[in-house]
Amino acid sequence: MQRQTFEHIEVSGDPHSLPLIIRQTNSKLSKLPGLLLMTTLAALIVLPQLGFAVYAFTSADVRRALAAHPAVAVELALALMFWAGLILWPLRNILIALISDRFVDIRNGEVKVVDRTPFSTTLWQMPLSNFEGVALHTRTSLSGIRHEAVLVHPNKNRSIILMAADRIGGADFDRLCHTLRLPAVSAGRLYDLGDKPPRHQNAVAA
Protein backbone atom coordinates (compact mmCIF):
# COMPACT_ATOMS: atom_id res chain seq x y z
CA MET A 1 0.00 0.00 0.00
CA GLN A 2 1.35 3.38 -0.96
CA ARG A 3 1.45 6.07 1.68
CA GLN A 4 -1.12 8.76 1.01
CA THR A 5 -0.52 12.36 2.15
CA PHE A 6 -3.63 14.48 2.67
CA GLU A 7 -3.80 18.27 2.63
CA HIS A 8 -6.76 18.83 4.97
CA ILE A 9 -6.76 17.25 8.42
CA GLU A 10 -10.03 17.82 10.30
CA VAL A 11 -10.24 16.71 13.93
CA SER A 12 -13.71 16.25 15.39
CA GLY A 13 -14.05 17.53 18.94
CA ASP A 14 -11.12 18.01 21.33
CA PRO A 15 -7.84 16.94 19.68
CA HIS A 16 -6.37 16.28 23.13
CA SER A 17 -8.88 13.70 24.36
CA LEU A 18 -10.06 10.30 23.23
CA PRO A 19 -11.82 9.20 21.14
CA LEU A 20 -9.83 10.98 18.45
CA ILE A 21 -11.73 11.11 15.15
CA ILE A 22 -10.01 12.57 12.10
CA ARG A 23 -11.12 13.14 8.51
CA GLN A 24 -8.42 13.62 5.87
CA THR A 25 -9.10 14.97 2.37
CA ASN A 26 -7.38 16.77 -0.49
CA SER A 27 -8.26 20.07 -2.11
CA LYS A 28 -9.76 19.57 -5.55
CA LEU A 29 -8.82 23.08 -6.68
CA SER A 30 -5.13 22.75 -5.79
CA LYS A 31 -4.84 19.52 -7.79
CA LEU A 32 -6.57 20.92 -10.89
CA PRO A 33 -3.52 22.63 -12.51
CA GLY A 34 -1.41 19.47 -12.16
CA LEU A 35 -4.26 17.34 -13.49
CA LEU A 36 -4.70 19.57 -16.55
CA LEU A 37 -0.94 19.65 -17.22
CA MET A 38 -0.42 15.90 -16.98
CA THR A 39 -3.57 15.18 -19.00
CA THR A 40 -2.36 17.51 -21.76
CA LEU A 41 1.09 15.89 -21.79
CA ALA A 42 -0.50 12.44 -21.94
CA ALA A 43 -2.62 13.51 -24.91
CA LEU A 44 0.31 15.10 -26.76
CA ILE A 45 3.05 12.55 -26.03
CA VAL A 46 1.77 9.21 -24.77
CA LEU A 47 -1.37 8.76 -26.87
CA PRO A 48 0.42 9.23 -30.24
CA GLN A 49 3.01 6.66 -29.19
CA LEU A 50 0.30 4.23 -28.15
CA GLY A 51 -1.40 4.84 -31.47
CA PHE A 52 1.81 4.01 -33.32
CA ALA A 53 2.26 0.86 -31.23
CA VAL A 54 -1.24 -0.32 -32.13
CA TYR A 55 -0.59 0.46 -35.78
CA ALA A 56 2.71 -1.44 -35.65
CA PHE A 57 0.96 -4.55 -34.33
CA THR A 58 -1.77 -4.40 -36.96
CA SER A 59 0.42 -3.52 -39.96
CA ALA A 60 2.31 -6.39 -41.54
CA ASP A 61 4.72 -4.00 -43.30
CA VAL A 62 5.67 -2.26 -40.05
CA ARG A 63 6.07 -5.58 -38.24
CA ARG A 64 8.43 -6.82 -40.96
CA ALA A 65 10.43 -3.58 -40.82
CA LEU A 66 10.78 -3.83 -37.03
CA ALA A 67 11.69 -7.50 -37.24
CA ALA A 68 14.45 -6.58 -39.66
CA HIS A 69 15.73 -3.91 -37.27
CA PRO A 70 15.12 -5.25 -33.73
CA ALA A 71 17.25 -2.52 -32.16
CA VAL A 72 14.77 0.08 -33.43
CA ALA A 73 11.87 -1.91 -31.98
CA VAL A 74 13.61 -2.03 -28.59
CA GLU A 75 14.30 1.72 -28.66
CA LEU A 76 10.67 2.49 -29.49
CA ALA A 77 9.43 0.19 -26.72
CA LEU A 78 11.79 1.78 -24.18
CA ALA A 79 10.71 5.28 -25.26
CA LEU A 80 7.05 4.33 -24.79
CA MET A 81 7.77 2.87 -21.35
CA PHE A 82 9.77 5.94 -20.33
CA TRP A 83 7.11 8.47 -21.29
CA ALA A 84 4.30 6.35 -19.90
CA GLY A 85 6.08 6.13 -16.55
CA LEU A 86 7.04 9.80 -16.55
CA ILE A 87 3.54 11.06 -17.30
CA LEU A 88 0.97 8.38 -16.52
CA TRP A 89 2.27 7.52 -13.02
CA PRO A 90 2.05 11.13 -11.73
CA LEU A 91 -1.35 11.44 -13.43
CA ARG A 92 -2.48 8.31 -11.62
CA ASN A 93 -1.31 9.71 -8.28
CA ILE A 94 -3.16 13.00 -8.88
CA LEU A 95 -6.38 11.18 -9.74
CA ILE A 96 -6.09 8.97 -6.64
CA ALA A 97 -5.56 12.04 -4.46
CA LEU A 98 -8.61 13.75 -5.96
CA ILE A 99 -11.02 10.90 -5.26
CA SER A 100 -9.63 9.61 -1.95
CA ASP A 101 -10.41 10.43 1.64
CA ARG A 102 -9.58 8.83 4.97
CA PHE A 103 -11.28 8.48 8.35
CA VAL A 104 -9.24 7.68 11.45
CA ASP A 105 -10.80 6.60 14.75
CA ILE A 106 -8.57 6.14 17.82
CA ARG A 107 -10.18 4.84 21.00
CA ASN A 108 -9.93 2.04 23.55
CA GLY A 109 -6.32 1.34 22.62
CA GLU A 110 -7.24 0.67 18.98
CA VAL A 111 -6.59 2.54 15.72
CA LYS A 112 -9.12 2.11 12.92
CA VAL A 113 -8.55 3.60 9.46
CA VAL A 114 -11.03 3.69 6.58
CA ASP A 115 -9.67 4.65 3.15
CA ARG A 116 -12.39 5.46 0.63
CA THR A 117 -12.68 6.18 -3.07
CA PRO A 118 -15.84 6.16 -5.22
CA PHE A 119 -14.88 2.61 -6.22
CA SER A 120 -13.72 0.97 -3.01
CA THR A 121 -13.59 1.14 0.77
CA THR A 122 -10.69 -0.36 2.72
CA LEU A 123 -10.64 -0.83 6.50
CA TRP A 124 -7.56 -1.65 8.51
CA GLN A 125 -7.00 -1.58 12.24
CA MET A 126 -4.38 -2.42 14.82
CA PRO A 127 -3.57 -1.81 18.49
CA LEU A 128 -2.29 1.64 19.34
CA SER A 129 0.63 -0.06 21.10
CA ASN A 130 1.96 -1.17 17.68
CA PHE A 131 2.93 2.43 16.93
CA GLU A 132 6.33 3.74 18.02
CA GLY A 133 5.25 7.22 19.06
CA VAL A 134 4.35 10.65 17.73
CA ALA A 135 6.67 12.75 15.57
CA LEU A 136 6.53 16.48 14.86
CA HIS A 137 7.25 16.75 11.16
CA THR A 138 7.79 19.91 9.07
CA ARG A 139 6.53 19.62 5.49
CA THR A 140 7.59 22.10 2.81
CA SER A 141 5.65 22.52 -0.43
CA LEU A 142 4.73 25.19 -2.98
CA SER A 143 1.89 26.16 -0.65
CA GLY A 144 4.31 26.95 2.18
CA ILE A 145 5.44 25.25 5.37
CA ARG A 146 3.23 23.35 7.78
CA HIS A 147 3.74 21.29 10.91
CA GLU A 148 2.32 17.77 11.14
CA ALA A 149 1.93 15.58 14.20
CA VAL A 150 2.35 12.04 12.84
CA LEU A 151 1.56 8.75 14.53
CA VAL A 152 4.64 6.73 13.56
CA HIS A 153 4.49 3.04 12.70
CA PRO A 154 7.46 0.77 11.81
CA ASN A 155 5.83 0.36 8.40
CA LYS A 156 5.95 3.94 7.11
CA ASN A 157 2.85 3.33 4.96
CA ARG A 158 0.88 2.82 8.19
CA SER A 159 1.96 6.13 9.74
CA ILE A 160 -0.95 8.54 10.19
CA ILE A 161 -1.12 12.33 10.25
CA LEU A 162 -3.02 13.33 13.40
CA MET A 163 -2.82 17.13 13.25
CA ALA A 164 -1.65 19.72 10.73
CA ALA A 165 -1.25 23.48 11.14
CA ASP A 166 1.02 26.37 10.21
CA ARG A 167 2.56 25.82 13.62
CA ILE A 168 2.04 23.16 16.29
CA GLY A 169 3.34 24.40 19.62
CA GLY A 170 5.36 22.27 21.99
CA ALA A 171 2.60 22.28 24.61
CA ASP A 172 -0.02 21.03 22.11
CA PHE A 173 2.33 18.34 20.87
CA ASP A 174 3.14 17.19 24.40
CA ARG A 175 -0.58 17.02 25.26
CA LEU A 176 -1.21 14.89 22.19
CA CYS A 177 1.54 12.47 23.20
CA HIS A 178 0.09 12.34 26.73
CA THR A 179 -3.41 11.66 25.37
CA LEU A 180 -2.18 8.74 23.28
CA ARG A 181 0.24 7.59 26.00
CA LEU A 182 3.01 7.38 23.45
CA PRO A 183 6.48 8.95 23.46
CA ALA A 184 7.69 11.70 21.16
CA VAL A 185 9.99 10.32 18.47
CA SER A 186 12.24 11.91 15.88
CA ALA A 187 10.67 12.94 12.56
CA GLY A 188 13.53 11.04 10.93
CA ARG A 189 11.73 7.81 11.84
CA LEU A 190 9.29 8.58 9.02
CA TYR A 191 12.08 8.06 6.51
CA ASP A 192 14.61 5.73 8.15
CA LEU A 193 12.32 2.76 8.62
CA GLY A 194 11.68 0.09 5.99
CA ASP A 195 8.35 -0.70 4.40
CA LYS A 196 8.06 -4.18 5.87
CA PRO A 197 6.09 -4.36 9.13
CA PRO A 198 7.59 -6.15 12.12
CA ARG A 199 6.50 -9.70 12.88
CA HIS A 200 4.49 -8.64 15.92
CA GLN A 201 2.25 -6.33 13.85
CA ASN A 202 -1.41 -7.24 14.27
CA ALA A 203 -3.20 -5.30 11.54
CA VAL A 204 -6.62 -6.45 10.37
CA ALA A 205 -7.77 -5.43 6.89
CA ALA A 206 -11.25 -5.78 5.49
State the pLDDT at residue 141: 67
Return per-residue pLDDT of the chain as tens, 206 residues: 445 577 788 888 787 889 999 998 876 655 566 667 777 777 777 777 777 777 777 777 777 777 777 787 777 778 777 777 777 777 776 677 677 789 999 999 999 999 888 777 889 999 999 999 999 998 876 667 889 999 999 988 899 999 888 899 989 999 999 999 999 999 888 776 444 444 444 455 55
In DSSP notation, 34-84 reads HHHHHHHHIIIIIHHHHHHHHHHHH-HHHHHHHHH-HHHHHHHHHHHHHHI
Q: Are 149 and 173 in contact (CB under 8 A)?
A: yes
Q: Are 175 and 136 in contact (CB under 8 A)?
A: no
State the pLDDT at residue 176: 93
Phi, psi of 16 (to 5 degrees): -115, 25
Residues with Cβ within 8 Å of 138's Cβ and at least 6 positions away in sequence, in order, are: 145, 146, 147, 148, 187
- This prediction has a pTM of 0.63
State the pLDDT at residue 201: 46
State the pLDDT at residue 14: 81
Residue 168: closest CA among 138, 143, 140:
138
Phi, psi of 9 (to 5 degrees): -115, 110
State the pLDDT at residue 189: 82
State the pLDDT at residue 15: 79
The Cα–Cα gap between 93 and 40 comes to 16
CB-CB neighbours of 22 under 10 Å:
22
State the pLDDT at residue 4: 58
Ramachandran sector of residue 133 (left: φ over 0; alpha: ψ -120 to 50; beta: rest): left
Q: Are 186 and 134 in contact (CB under 8 A)?
A: no
Give burial (CB, 10 Å; 0-12/13-18/19+) of 105.
middle
